[in-house]
Amino acid sequence: MVASSKLRGAQESLKASRAFKDTMENTWELETLPPNPTIKNVATTFCADRGLAGGLLNVLLRVSKPIIKANHNSNSKYIVVGQKGAGTFGREYRDGFDVVFNDLFRQKRYSFKQATCIAQEILKNYPEAQRYDFYSQLFVNTSVNVPTHFTYPDLETLMSKSDFSTRFHGTAPLPAYKNFWELKLAAIIFNLSCESFAAESAARMNAMSNATTSAEDMISRLSLLYNRTRQSKITGELIEIISGAASILESEEN
């Protein structure tokens, strides 16, 4: 009951975040950016905060590790949103592993303000980053989640490799482009956080449902075994009573 309630709340937040992201998605057309291990990059992975969603994290790590390895260099930094991924990244990328954001979804609703705080922390701690990589599970339905990788370049790369600066009429001052770039970064974090939490909530609900079904099956099997054992015991005692009574009657007749 609690898990399904949390999933409904996560889906409502996800719906709002997708609408916000889709509105900004068509703002510019950006070239596909290949892996580049020579630039400063920040990789952010959105994981679960609590247990019963381990399979979800394992699938995401299998997809993200090859891409992270292709981009890895001495300047790489790794951020984890969700406590469950901290151990894995802390072991494998000890030098670059830096920040963990956890307990973001303690409340029923995840707000854009929280995503903005994460974006501000990233920009404050890594002002010279040239590329931002994001890894998350995309929620499809309660049974299907798709691991995804999203790349967001720095403002200079965006201006040179997209039609961002020419799509609008007139020439906007650079601070305006920078503000919009930061806003979209927060929108990306907001959306991927909601996608990850919805996927986590669905995985946890399925795990609890499977555990309940397994427990019910076990109770059913044990009840059947108990009833058979009890019936066998009763049958044995009845046979003993009947046999004793028959012996008494036979002895009296003799």
Gap between the Cα atoms of 118 and 112, Å rounded: 10
- Please give the average per-residue pLDDT across 69-83, as a whole number: 78
Mean pLDDT, residues 49-56 taken together:
67
In this predicted structure, the answer to whether residue 54 has a pLDDT above a threshold of 60 is no
217-227 pLDDT per residue, tens? 899 899 999 99
Residues 67/133, Cβ–Cβ less than 8 Å = yes
Question: What tens digit of pLDDT does each residue of 8-51 get?
Answer: 777 778 888 888 887 777 666 666 677 777 778 888 888 877 66
Residue type, 220: S
Q: What is the mean pLDDT of the chain?
A: 78
Query: What domains does the chain contain, in order, with CATH numbers?
Result: 2-207 (3.40.1380.10)
Which residues face 99 on adjacent strands?
79
What is the pLDDT at residue 75?
A: 76
Per-residue model confidence as pLDDT tens digits over 150-205: 888 888 877 777 776 666 655 667 777 888 888 888 888 888 888 888 888 887 77
**What stretches of the chain show up as alpha helix (H) in DSSP?**
2-25, 54-71, 86-92, 112-125, 155-161, 174-253
